[in-house]
Amino acid sequence: MNIRLVDPKTSARHPEVLGVGVFEDQPRTAVSALPAAVRARVQEALSSGKCKGSSGEVFAVFVPGSGPECVFLIGLGKRETLKLERVRLAAARLRSQAAACKYAALRLDLESVRGALPMADVIGAAVEGLRMSAYRFDKYKTSGKDRKPSGPSEAELGLRSPGAGERRALAEAEILAETVNWTRDFANEPANVLTPVRLAAVARRMASEERLSCRVLGRAECLKLGMGGIIGVSQGSSYPPQLIVLEYKPKGVKDQRPVVLVGKGVTFDTGGISLKPGPGMEWMKYDMCGAAAVIGALRAIARLKLPVPVVGLAPVVENMPGSKAQRPGDIIRCMNGKTVEVLNTDAEGRLILADALCYAERYKPRHLIDIATLTGACSVTFGDAASAVMSSDPELTARLKKAGEHTGERLWEMPLYEEYKELIRATHADIQNISKKNVGIMTAGLFLREFSGHAGSWAHLDIAGTGFADGDRPLGPKGVTGMGVRLFTRFVRDLAAER
Ligand code: BES
Ligand code: MN
Ligand code: ZN
């Protein structure tokens, strides 16, 4: 799909399909440059009250023959409360409708939202909506018939006299949306294909293409560094663990402490000896979504040449049972010397993240942020409506939440009460890897905080409910969502804008 900015006043040609945003509280929309017959039909739909403009509504007006054959009036809800996410969804819906009707070209009229939000942001949201909704993972469908139709090949964003700022917004959003889909592509791979070594290879190849530095620590190096968490979790698998280290150093930026991102990369989580139940276990091929988000974010940040140094760390393992696997009750020692009683081998994410967080210390991070499909409790609590954020730094939380508001990747803060610390105090070691009571989201957060180098600015994102979708969504099909890629990129972009 090609996406272009088009000035409706100067473009002679009409698109087959036109999408126009309609507000609930302002039903009279100026639809620029339409043939009279089409305009009349659109006005009729609006003034008769058949088309209400409520959020999520799509009203189709077909006028065969002249101008656009089909106008989709896309409900945007109330104008004052318009959010970028609604623009994203509107663009996604328009594209899906046009695809269903087998149209090859569409135009989304952005003038209908002018003034409600900054136009550059609107362009970005529209591009994301179009590209993310078009994503498919059908490389393993051997028959073309089983593949979903790819949809329109041409998409225009209708906008009066677009300038340089608008063109830049388009170019940046293209990078971002393409990177989200690139991330989905490798993260959707099943665990027999995407082993820890293969995931590290994805990061390596990306790094050489984007001129990032990439190092991968293998089992021997992890052992030498005393990474008992990574070693312990991976020891039941025939695949060796990998610690991916990506470093982005922008040109001309010196003496700045980096943002360090750490993503959980469990290529498959059987639970280990604390084996998970069979039904639904296949979802655990997505237990590396945190690592995917970090790798994707570094790619986008490097492509956008953001002037902030960023380090990406991803501990990658497979969690398997077997004669070499760690057992419930095992005591391991993490890189910072803290001992952990492994009461449940299925609480493995925090064990590998613990070592990666310790490793992060060498970078003296300005901000240290981890991201993980960490607890089933989080997915039960929020579904896919939000990710949980926990942090030692309220300002960092606020920045992350603001970035998430912008990208539509919502964050909800959970409290790290000191009282909860008691729940992970161990009998025979410093801490244990599961909670004595049902506050699983926060005790996981508290566990990680123990390895975050207390004084600093650390945050933990639990994306158990948002990293992958259990069914098709407007912004992407069942499978990996790419949650975190846009959020981190936005977060870093905002940091850059401040200096
Ligand atoms: N990867 C899972 C968490 C998960 C579950 C993510 C469902 C996405 C969907 C994690 O490793 C896990 O197994 N967590 C356990 C922790 C428990 C043993 C304390 C859980 O949440 O049940
Ligand atoms: Mn687990
Ligand atoms: Zn897991």
With contact defined as beta carbons under 8 Å apart, do 108 and 158 qualify? Answer: yes
Q: Has residue 144 got a pLDDT over 90?
A: no
Distance from Cα 418 to the centre of ligand 2, integer Å: 25
Confidence category of residue 360, pLDDT binned at 50, 70, 90: very high
User: Which ligand is closest to the CA of 321, given by its number?
Assistant: 2
- pLDDT for 187-212, tens place per residue? 999 999 999 999 999 999 999 999 99
Whole-model pTM?
0.97
β partners of residue 107: 18, 156
Q: Whole-angstrom Cα distance, residue 241 to residue 218?
A: 6
Confidence category of residue 136, pLDDT binned at 50, 70, 90: very high
Query: Which own/partner contact pairs does 328-332 have at CB distance under 8 Å and 24+ positions apart?
Result: 328/273, 328/274, 330/232, 331/428, 331/429, 332/228, 332/229, 332/231, 332/232
Closest ligand 1 atom, residue 373 Cα: 6
Average pLDDT value for residue range 347-357 = 98
Confidence category of residue 28, pLDDT binned at 50, 70, 90: low
Confidence category of residue 363, pLDDT binned at 50, 70, 90: very high
In words, the CATH class of domain 181-497 is alpha beta
Q: What is the DSSP string of 413-475?
A: E----GGGGGGGB-SSSSEESS-SSS-HHHHHHHHHHTTS-TTS-EEEEE-TTTSEESS-BTT
Mean per-residue pLDDT over the chain, rounded: 95
User: Which ligand is closest to the CA of 344, given by its number?
Assistant: 1
- What pLDDT was estimated at residue 311? 98
Total Cβ atoms within 10 A of residue 215: 14
Distance from Cα 415 to the centre of ligand 1, integer Å: 19
The question of whether 425 is a catalytic residue gets the answer no
Which regions of the chain carry the CATH code 3.40.220.10?
Answer: 2-162
Give the angle 83-88-89 at the CA atoms, nearest 5°: 95
- Report the 3 state secondary structure along 322-361: CCCCCCCCEEEECCCCCEEEECCCCCCHHHHHHHHHHHHH
Closest ligand 1 atom, residue 433 Cα: 19
Average pLDDT value for residue range 24-51 = 81
| Nearest to 75, CA basis, from 98, 60, 54, 44 | 54
CATH number belonging to domain 2-162:
3.40.220.10
Distance from Cα 280 to the centre of ligand 3, integer Å: 13
The question of whether 436 is a catalytic residue gets the answer no
Percent of the chain with pLDDT over 90: 89
Confidence category of residue 146, pLDDT binned at 50, 70, 90: confident
With contact defined as beta carbons under 8 Å apart, do 178 and 135 qualify? Answer: no
Q: Has residue 493 got a pLDDT over 80?
A: yes
Q: Whole-angstrom Cα distance, residue 150 to residue 29?
A: 31
Average pLDDT value for residue range 418-427 = 98
With contact defined as beta carbons under 8 Å apart, do 8 and 160 qualify? Answer: yes
Closest ligand 1 atom, residue 271 Cα: 13
Average pLDDT value for residue range 274-293 = 98
| Nearest to 59, CA basis, from 68, 46, 47 | 46
Q: Which of 177-181, 198-202, 454-458 has the lowest mean pLDDT?
A: 454-458
- What pLDDT was estimated at residue 27? 62
- What pLDDT was estimated at residue 32? 62
Average pLDDT value for residue range 366-384 = 98
- pLDDT for 151-160, tens place per residue? 999 999 999 9
Which regions of the chain carry the CATH code 3.40.630.10?
Answer: 181-497
- What pLDDT was estimated at residue 147? 82
